[in-house]
Structure 1
């Protein structure tokens, strides 16, 4: 059995083979699909190919995989021997990958299937468009600020009322043209965002797991899809703590020798976009009645609201693991609110609005029904707060031995 290490770049890859304890250079391979496939066809079906994770690693693995026994993608953050090498060449890097796998010390990366990769790409595209639209708003705000114009009194600067207010402001002609250009770009991105959200909404309606996550307060279609794309197959996480660690929401730990362990800030490892989405969902969950709000308030009383939001995001990750693993909905879900969320998804997916008919989401429009569901969830919040009221977050106090006051004979 040979182990082939590939150090991949944009235009080429350096190939090194490890066999019988010796390294042998195989040369450079052009990273065009046909030439890479021709190189892989020359390999043995018993070979194992090791690739370091890069932007095109998944595509390269898909081309090579049919010709070899296994393709392994290495975690670049954990292969520090390559980054810190004093003598660093492509040949040495490829050889290090092969040797690490042969010795059993190569940290592997989970490779998602094609539907999960497609979902990740769509979620990333939506995030990019949202960030570009936010940037355009900030540019317009900076133009107004530079001419001593106060902030827009309306919630949405680029909405109908905001644009009407914006047209009344006195700015130089060149700045007016710049604002109009930014607004046109904002509208164009809005059209692209609508198309992407339509595709994402259709994916939501076809995935029971995503609809199940939307039963959690604070979790809408965007957050549920981001979590589904980040997690992929939930069975690869044996316990919820594994998922928490994957999202970088677990605290860092420093311990050496006989000294105690010191816990610091969260590690912030893993997929940052999914972690940020969970924190946003935590803020929304803190405003909705239920046990999650009681948990947020309990932590906020001791550590402040920002720490409480991150702690609630970690709690959400644990809840998500249980819902996906057990195939259950959130225990304290509000049925009418969940039905309204699904109806909003259907409208985004292209369904026509039918007036005069009472659908599944009609109950949310009835105030008495909403208040009844809210009282039921508030009872669960009160029960949780009563249950944890006697908890000591720091553990039992140790009894003093009185050694400091001991009298010597």
Structure 2
């Protein structure tokens, strides 16, 4: 059996083969589909190929996989830590990948299926469009600031009222033209964003796990789709702690010898997009009544706002693992609010409006129904407060041998 390592770059890949303990350089392969197909035809059905996780590794894997026994995708950060060397070339990197795989030390990453890849691409497209819109708003704000314009009194500068206010401000002619061009580009990006969100919403409506995650307060379509795109299949994680570590919300631990373990900041390793989404969702979650808000306030009293929000984000990750694994909705779901979220999802997907028809989401407009649901959640919040009243932080654990000696 041959093990072939490929060090992938933008325009080419360096390949090396390990067979019977001997490394043989296969040379450079152009990173076009035709070159990769030609290279794949030279491989044997028993070959194992190893590549690093890069932006184009998925496309390379799809082309090579049908021609070989297995394609492994390695974690580049962990490979670097294992095989750090003073001399580094593309040929050496390819040899290191092959040797690590042969020795059983290759840190692999999960290769998502086509549906998960498509969902990730859509999430990435949406994030890019949002960033471009924010950038255009910042440019317009800088133009106003440079020309001594007052601060906009409205929340959305490019909303209806904000645009009317913007037209009334004094700006030089060239600056006015620049602002108009930026607004035109902003509107174009807004239309593109609506199209991407429509496709995302249609896929979310067909997935029951999306609706299940939206039963958690603070989690909407954007957070649910982003987290599901990062997770892929929940059965990859044996426990909620592994999902938390995958997202990078687990605390770093330093421990040596008999000294107690020191827990520091979160590792921030893994999927950064899912981590950011959960932290944003945590800020929204703590605005609603419920046990999560009581947990946030308890941590905030000791550690501050930001650490408490990150702690809530970790709780959300644990909660998501349990909901997806058990196939259950959130216990303290507010039915009217959840129905409103689902209806908003349908409208984003392009479903027709039902004016005059009172569906399940109409209950959210009835104050009595909202208050009844809120009272039920407040009872759960009060129960959590009573449960945690008087809780104190435990000191360092005492070894059984030390305790016996003291006695």
Q: Same fold (TM over 0.5)?
A: yes
- State the partner residue of 1:188: 188
Query: Partners in 1 of 2:110 and 2:103 — Cα distance?
Result: 19
Asked whether 1:376 is paired with 2:383, we answer no
1:4 touches 1:47 (CA, 8 Å); kept in 2?
yes
Count of residues in correspondence between the two structures: 398
- State the partner residue of 1:402: none
Query: Partners in 2 of 1:312 and 1:389 — Cα distance?
Result: 18
Secondary structure of 2:286's counterpart equals helix
Question: TM-score scaled to structure 1, two decimals?
Answer: 0.95
Written as runs of structure 1 = structure 2, the 5 A alignment for 1:354-373 is 354-373=354-373
- State the partner residue of 1:4: 4
Query: Partners in 2 of 1:380 and 1:260 — Cα distance?
Result: 36
2:336 touches 2:370 (CA, 8 Å); kept in 1?
yes
Written as runs of structure 1 = structure 2, the 5 A alignment for 1:6-405 is 6-80=6-80, 84-395=84-395
2:50 touches 2:74 (CA, 8 Å); kept in 1?
yes
Query: Partners in 1 of 2:215 and 2:131 — Cα distance?
Result: 27
Query: Partners in 1 of 2:397 and 2:30 — Cα distance?
Result: 65
- How many Å apart are 1:139 and its aligned residue? 1.0
Describe the superposition over 1:16-49 as per-residue Cα deviations: whole angstroms up to 9, x where unpaired. Answer: 1111111011122121112212211221111100
- State the partner residue of 1:405: none
Question: TM-score scaled to structure 2, two decimals?
Answer: 0.96
Query: Partners in 2 of 1:164 and 1:384 — Cα distance?
Result: 48
Bigger mean CA offset, 147-156 vs 227-236: 147-156
**Runs of at least 5 residues in structure 1 that lack an aligned partner in the other structure:** 399-409
- How many Å apart are 1:148 and its aligned residue? 2.1
Secondary structure of 1:170's counterpart equals coil
Describe the superposition over 1:157-215 as per-residue Cα deviations: whole angstroms up to 9, x where unpaired. Answer: 00000001111111111111111111111100000000000000001100000110000
Query: Partners in 2 of 1:383 and 1:244 — Cα distance?
Result: 26
Secondary structure of 1:175's counterpart equals helix
Query: Partners in 2 of 1:249 and 1:139 — Cα distance?
Result: 33
Bigger mean CA offset, 27-36 vs 225-234: 27-36
1:82 touches 1:96 (CA, 8 Å); kept in 2?
no
Q: CA RMSD in A?
A: 1.4
Query: Partners in 2 of 1:395 and 1:183 — Cα distance?
Result: 58
Secondary structure of 2:317's counterpart equals helix
- How many Å apart are 1:395 and its aligned residue? 4.3
- State the partner residue of 2:402: none
